[in-house]
Structure 1
Amino acid sequence: MTDEATPHADSSEERADLSHLVRERMAENRISLRALAAACIDPEDRDTGPLWTRGTLGNLLAGERVKPPRLPELRALAAGLRVPLRVIQDAAAAQFFGMDSVYSEDAQVRAMVHGFEDLSPEDRRKVLAIIETFRQS
């Protein structure tokens, strides 16, 4: 993964959901940047080796702009941090694209909604009703 600068969808509202998640999990697991980078191997393609460098992870933690990760990189980071892929995907979607993950009551249906947290309570209920409709289909 490279450290290329990539503009956020809305640069006026910088989010750091993935950065915070990585920092928290590193502390919980008592793992260094070097160890995390070595552990970030895509479980679906172990032959490619680690997909995150210590430098890229350091930049992510420092709030520097990094290129949004692709699915193999997200799987590798999930493996390295020992969290479900969905958790990493949600944090990356929030940080890089300003998208909030909204789930059905049973967590079987997920929708990505831009600015869900900024919606009025009534509009949030409408979004949740739509998600529940898909769950019941």
Structure 2
Amino acid sequence: MIPMAAYDDQAADRPSTPERRSQFADLIRRRRAELNVGLDAFAKRAIDPVSGKKVTRGWIYRLETGEPVTPPELPELMALAAACDLPLEALQDAAGQQFHGVDPLVSGSTEAKAYVHKLDRLPADQRERLLRLIDTLVPPDEG
């Protein structure tokens, strides 16, 4: 027989259930409420202006009610950004949090966040030169 104390110690070593994230679903639900738009009307607005990709009412319903959904890809994010009348980056941040566990960049200024989003479009050599320039203006933290 295993002593109860030993059993309790083993329970503490087991991984806990992963945190259920709902940032993207919360954003869509909240924005739909702010716009005072029903699910059908919202789904009709959820069309990517570039590709014409549509997000279905059923997918939005499952997302909002916490049912399993396939994570949205860029065309779906663009469609939902159009329906929400929000910048694409806001939806990308929330989707990254909910579906991939990636927390968005938090900064004291909106400019810093915009710079980081643009940074990924630069070639590696230009990013390195930019970092060296920034280091001459603001020396890196010692640590």
- TM-score (ref. length: structure 2): 0.65
Match of 1:27 among 28, 33, 52: 33
Instruction: Mark the CA change 1:68 to 1:28 in structure 2 (over 3 Å): closer, same or farther.
Output: same
User: 1:13 deviation in Å?
Assistant: 1.1
Query: Of the two, which has the highest radius of gyration?
Result: 2
Q: Which runs of 5+ in 2 are unaligned?
A: 1-16, 118-130, 136-143
Does the CA contact (< 8 Å) of 1:109 and 1:135 recur in 2? no
Aligned pairs for 1:53-132 within 5 A: 53-103=56-106, 105=109, 106=111, 107=113, 108-110=115-117
Aligned-residue CA RMSD (Å): 2.3
Distance 2:95 2:132 in 1: 24
Paired residue secondary structure (1:23): helix
User: 1:52 deviation in Å?
Assistant: 1.1
User: Aligned residues, how many?
Assistant: 103
Task: Report percent identity of matched pairs.
Answer: 41
- TM-score (ref. length: structure 1): 0.68
User: 1:44 deviation in Å?
Assistant: 1.1
Which one has the bigger helix percentage? 2
1:12 aligns with 2:18: yes
Which of the pair has the greater relative contact order for Cα pairs under 8 Å at 6+ separation? 1
